[in-house]
Structure 1
Amino acid sequence: MATEAQVETCATGQANVSLKKPELLAPAGNLEKLQFAVRYGADAVYIGGQQYGLRAKAGNFSFEDMAKGVDFASRYGAKVYVAANIIAHNEDLQGVKDYFKKLHDIGIDACIVADPALIELGRDAAPDLEMHISTQASITNWKAVQFWAQEGIPRVVLAREVSLEEIREIKRNVDIEIEAFIHGAMCISYSGRCVLSNHMTARDANRGGCAQSCRWPYELYGDKRISVDHDPFTMSSKDLSMVEHLPLLIDAGVDSLKIEGRMKSIHYIATVCNVYRQIIDSYCEDPQNFRLKEEWVDEIWKAAQRSLTTAFYFGDPTEQDQLFGKPEKIPKYDFAALVLDYDPDTQVATLQQRNNFGVGDEVEFFGPNFVRFKQTVKEMWDEENEPLERAPHPMMTVKMKVDQPVHPYDMMRKRK
C-alpha cells in the first residue's frame, strides 16, 4: 500500500505539471474482505451496512463489524466509506437519521448516497459526515456535477456510461473530486435505472434486490419459438477493465479509481487490488518511462469471471462488448489456502485450507507488492505432523514445504 508521502502528488510527464495520486478504492462485502483489500493495496474501501445499500446479498456489516473495519483500516492509513445508495420509498425513511448518526459515531469517513432525501436526513443527523453522490444518480455531464458541488458535496461517483473525454471536460469545468469505475461488472442499463429484476422476480434492483435478470439465458419467440443457430443469449455486458489504460484516467484528473465487486471473492479483491496498486505506483513514480507489464494483464485475467471490455471510455460499446454466443474460455482459479506462518529454517509454511488441494498439484503463491511464484506441492502434513496426500476439509490447518519464503496473509491459488 502507498505511504502517505507517496499519495501526495503524481507527475504527469508534462513540464511543471503534477496531479494528486488517485485513491485506489476497493469493495468489501465483509470484514475479512476489507482486511484483504487494505493489505493488498487499497487506499480506501466501500462497504454496505445492513440497511439502505444495493447489495442485499453481500455479507454486509453490522455496526460492530464497521467499528472493527474502521479500526483496522486506520492502522494502515486507509478510509472506509459506507454505501447507502438505495432509491428510497416512504417506508424506507424511518430510522435514517439514527443510522447516519451511528455511522458518524463509528468513524466512517463518508457515505455514498443517491437519494436527496437520504442526503438531507443524513446531514441533519450528522453534519460532519461527508456525503458522496453514488453512481446510481447516473451523473453524465458537468452541469450535474456542478449542481452537487454547489450543494456542498465534495465528490461524485460518475455513471459508468461516461467517456474519457467527458471526464476531462467535467474536470475542466468543476472543481470537485471525481470517482470513476475502473474494473468490475457493468449494468446493462444506465446505472440505477433498471426495472428488469422488478418485472421478472419482484425484486427491486434499486433497493438492493437485483436478480441480475440480464445475465439469464434467453431465446427469441414470436407467435412461436424462432429457430436460431446459436446458443441462448443474454442481455449482458462484458466486465469493465481499464488495466491497460489507467494512466489516461490519472492524467484526466480522476481522484478515486473504483473497483466493483462487494459480492466477489477474497481472491478477486486481493488480485485486482494488487495489480492496480502496482500500476498506479509505477506510473506516478516515473510517468515518462512507464511501461505496462504483461504480467499485470495476465494477473487480472486470473481474477476475471467474464470477458473484459473498456465499456464507454473510448466510445459507445458495440456488439463486441456484449456477451453473445458461447462465452470466451477464461482460466479459472481457486483460492486454495491462506498463509498463516512460515519457518525459514525448515522452509515449511503453515496454511489454512480454503479449497481442496493436494500433493502433485501446481499452485501459485502471491502476496502484496506483487510477489509471486509457482511450484508443485511435494509434501504436506496435518497439525500432528502426519503426512497428507490431500487437504479436503475447509479451514483445516496444513503444513507444506515451499520453494520460496512466504509471509502471513500471502495467498495460494490453484487453477481449476
Structure 2
Amino acid sequence: MTENNLLEVLAPVGDMERLYAALDFGADAVYLGGTAFGMRAASASFDAELLKKACDEAHSRGKRVYLTCNTLPHNDEIVHLEQFVNDALAAGVDAMIANDIGVFSLIKKYAPDMEIHVSTQAGIVNYVTANEFYNMGAKRVVLARELSLEEIAEIKAKTPKDLEIECFVHGAMCVSFSGRCLLSQYLVNRDANRGECAQPCRWGYHLMEEKRTNEFYPVFEDEKGTYILNAKDMCMLNHIDKLAEAGVNSFKIEGRAKSSYYVSVITNAYRKAMDIYKSDPEHFELPQWLKDEVFKVSHRAYCTGFFFGHPKESQYYENGGYIREYDVVAVVDGCSGGRIYCTQKNKFNKGDEIEVLSPVGSPVKFTVEEMFDEYDNSIDTANHAAMKMSIRSDLTFPEHSIIRMKK
C-alpha cells in the first residue's frame, strides 16, 4: 500500500493557460512538452523561455514540473538532444520522461543529477524490467496501461521502495499497446511514435471486396460503418483507493492537447477524490456531485481499462466523437461589492441557470438575475467574445473559477 504522502495528482499541460488551470485546481505536479522530443507535437509550445516561466510559476506554489522527452528520435534529431537537456536544466525542470534507451543514456550523460521517469511507451509490464530501469538510474516508471491492479501490486512488491510507480488513471485510451502504433504513419505518414498521431483508430471503417471495386460494406449492419478500433476513455476516479492500495504513487491524467476547462475540471475531481481518500483511507466514498464532474467535460464513453482484468467493453463502435453536455460561458476575474466580475467565453443570457466550479468546495448553481457590461450598463445577454462583464451576486469565488452552463 502506498503511503499517503507519496500520492501525487499529475496533470497535463499544453500551454501556460492550462498550466495555471492545473495549478489553480490542485495538481501536485504537471507534465508538459518542449518544442521537440514530445509525444504531442500539436501541444509542443514550451520553448526554453516559456519552460523557465512555467517552472518558476509551479515552484512558487510548491509544485513539480516533468518534461516529456519520450519520442523515438531519428539520427538527424538526436544531435539536438544535448541542447534540449541543457534548456531543461536551465529552466529548473524536476524530471524528464524518457522512452528510448539511447535518449535515457544521453540524459544521464548531459544531466547526471536529472530525475528520469520511464515513459509508458517503454511498455513495462513486469518487475524485472522495472528493476533494470531502476539500476540504470530511473527514479520512476510509468507502467504500461495494459496491467491489472494485481500485476501492479506485484511489481510494487518486487521493486525497491524508492522506485516510484506512475499509472494513467484518466483520459483517452489507445487501441495499440501503450501507444506503440504504426497505423497513422502507414495511412497518412504521421508518426505516432514522434508525437504526430492522426488518430485513425477513431475513424469509421467499411470492408471492400477486391472484385467489387468501390462497393463498400459495413463491418456491422449499420449504414455509418463501424468504429471498430475506437477505444473508450479511461476513468478511475471511483477507484482511487484500489490504485493506492496496489502501490501507485502518481495518478496521471491524460490530455496535453485538451482544453484548459478539461484540465481544470478533471484535475479538480482527482484532487478532491485524493483528499477524501487521504482523510479516511478505510472508508473511501465519493459524494455524487464529485462523481458527476467527469461527465461535465467532453469525453467518450468511460471504462476502467485493464485495471480489473481484460476489458470486455473497452471499445466503442457507434461513433468516434465526444459527448459534450456543458459549455464554459465565463471565467471569474474577481468578486467584490455584490458582483462577480468575469470574462465571457460563450454566449449566455439573463435568466439562465449557471454553475460555478471553484477549487474550493462543490459547484454552486444560481440564476443570473442581473448582469452588466464593463461600463456598468445593464445587459440582457453576454454575446461578445472575451467581453469584460459582471453578474449581480453576493456569492464570492476565487479568481479563475469557471462559470459553465448545461447545453
Q: Please classify the TM superposition score into its range, dividing by the shorter chain length.
A: over 0.9
The residue type paired with residue 161 of structure 1 is E
Deviation at 1:258, TM superposition (A): 0.3
CA distance in 2, matches of 1:123, 1:138: 21
Structure 2 CA distance, aligned partners of 1:145 and 1:288? 29
Residue 357 of structure 1: which of 345, 348, 353 is its match?
Answer: 348
Q: Which residue of 2 aligns with 1:289?
A: 283
Between the aligned partners of 2:359 and 2:397, the Cα distance in structure 1 is 11
Q: Which residue among 169, 176, 183 is the counterpart of 1:189?
A: 176
Following superposition of structure 1 onto structure 2, how do residues 258-269 of structure 1 map, counting pairs within 5 Å? 258-269=252-263
1:387 aligns with 2:381: no
The DSSP-based 3-state class of the residue aligned with 2:170 is strand
In the other structure, the counterpart of 1:341 is: 334
User: Is the CA contact 1:183–1:242 (under 8 Å) kept in the aligned structure 2?
Assistant: yes
Decide whether the 8 Å contact of 2:29 with 2:63 is kept in 1.
yes
Sort the Cα spacing of 1:378 and 1:19 in 2 relative to 1 into closer, same or farther, 3 A: closer
Q: 2:237 matched to 1:243? A: yes
Tell me the equivalent position of 1:77: 62
Identify which range, 286-295 or 184-193, moves more after superposition.
286-295
Q: 203-212 or 217-226, which moves further after superposition? A: 217-226
Cα distance in 2 for residues equivalent to 1:403 and 1:197: 52
Name the SS for the 2:378 alignment partner.
coil
Query: Would you say 1:161 and 2:146 are equivalent positions?
Result: yes
Report what 1:219 is aligned to. Answer: 206
SS at match of 1:220: strand
Displacement of 1:25: 0.4
Per the alignment, residue 415 of structure 1 pairs with 406
Amino acid at match of 1:233: T
Identity of aligned residues (%): 39
Please give the alpha-carbon distance, in whole angstroms, between the structure 1 residues aligned to 2:376 and 2:139: 56
Counterpart for residue 221 of structure 2: 229
Retained in 2: the 8 A contact 1:104–1:126? yes
Contact 1:381 1:399 in 2 (8 A): yes
Match of 1:314 among 293, 308, 313: 308
> Does the CA-based 8 Å contact 1:53-1:86 persist in structure 2?
yes
SS at 2:65 equivalent: strand
Deviation (angstroms), 1:330: 4.1
Q: Which moved more, 1:320-329 or 1:239-248?
A: 320-329
Report the Cα distance in structure 1 between the residues aligned to 2:117 and 2:324, rounded to whole angstroms: 36
- Partner Cα distance (2:288, 2:172) in 1: 23
CA distance in 1, matches of 2:299, 2:373: 33
Q: Does 1:201 align with 2:194?
A: no
Q: For 1:388 and 1:309, how far apart are their aligned partners in 2?
A: 44
After superposition, the Cα gap between the structure-2 partners of 1:91 and 1:167, relative to the gap in structure 1 and judged at 3 Å, is same
Q: Aligned equivalents of 1:279 and 1:259: distance in 2? A: 13
**Counterpart of 1:149 in 2: which secondary structure?**
helix
Question: How far apart in 1 are the matches of 2:357 and 2:89?
Answer: 36
State the partner residue of 1:210: 197
Unaligned runs of 5+ in 2: none
Given that residues 188 and 214 in structure 1 are in contact (C-alpha distance below 8 angstroms), is that contact kept between their aligned partners in structure 2? Answer: yes
**What is the Cα deviation at residue 360 of structure 1?**
2.5
Match of 1:7 in 2: none
Matches of 2:135 and 2:243 in 1, distance apart? 24
- Write the distance in 2 (CA, Å) between the matches of 1:121 and 1:328: 40
More divergent stretch after superposition (257-266 vs 348-357): 348-357
Distance 2:207 2:170 in 1: 31
Aligned to 1:118: 103
Indicate the SS of the match to 2:17.
Answer: helix
One-letter code aligned to 1:123: K
Deviation (angstroms), 1:331: 4.8
Pairs within 5 Å for 1:370-409: 370-402=361-393, 404-409=395-400
SS at match of 1:245: helix
Is contact 1:111-1:130 (8 Å) kept?
yes
Q: CA deviation at 1:324?
A: 1.1
CA distance in 2, matches of 1:196, 1:327: 16
> Counterpart in 1 of 2:248?
254
Distance 1:111 1:327, change over 3 A: closer
C-alpha separation in 2, matches of 1:131 and 1:405: 42
Q: Secondary structure at the match of 1:92?
A: helix
Could you tell which deviates more after superposition, 285-294 or 133-142? 285-294
Alpha-carbon distance in structure 1 between the residues aligned to 2:310 and 2:180:
18
> Residue deviations 1:41-75, cap 9 Å, x none?
10000000011101111152121111111111112
Alignment of 1:52-131 (within 5 A): 52-58=37-43, 60-131=45-116
Q: Please say if residues 21 and 284 of structure 1, whose CA atoms lie closer than 8 Å, have aligned partners that are also in contact.
A: no
In the TM superposition, residue 159 of structure 1 has moved relative to its aligned partner by 1.0
> For 2:5 and 2:271, how far apart are their aligned partners in 1?
15
- C-alpha separation between the residues in 2 aligned to 1:358 and 1:37? 29
Give the aligned residue type for 2:332: V
Instruction: Check conservation: 1:188, 1:237, Cα contact below 8 A.
Output: yes
Query: Contact 1:82–1:110 at 8 Å: present in 2 too?
Result: yes
CA shift for structure 1 position 232: 2.0
Q: Distance in 1 between matches of 2:329 and 2:275?
A: 28
TM-score normalised to the size of structure 1?
Answer: 0.92
Helix, strand or coil: the match of 2:128? helix
CA contact (8 A) 1:278 1:369 kept: no
- Tell me which residue corresponds to 2:27: 42
Any stretches of 5+ residues in structure 1 without a counterpart? 1-11
Q: Distance in 1 between matches of 2:361 and 2:201?
A: 35
For 1:130-162, what per-residue CA distance to the aligned partner results, in whole angstroms no more than 9, with x for missing partners?
111101111111111011011111101111111
1-side partners of 2:301 and 2:37: how far apart? Answer: 31
Contact 1:274 1:369 in 2 (8 A): no
TM-score (normalised: structure 2): 0.94
Query: Deviation string for 1:331-360 (max 9, x for gaps)?
Result: 5212211100111x3x21110112222222
Contact 2:33 2:67 in 1 (8 A): yes
The CA distance in 2 between the partners of 1:119 and 1:77, in whole Å, is 27
Alpha-carbon RMSD across the aligned residues, in angstroms, is 1.7
SS of 1:181 mapped into structure 2 = strand
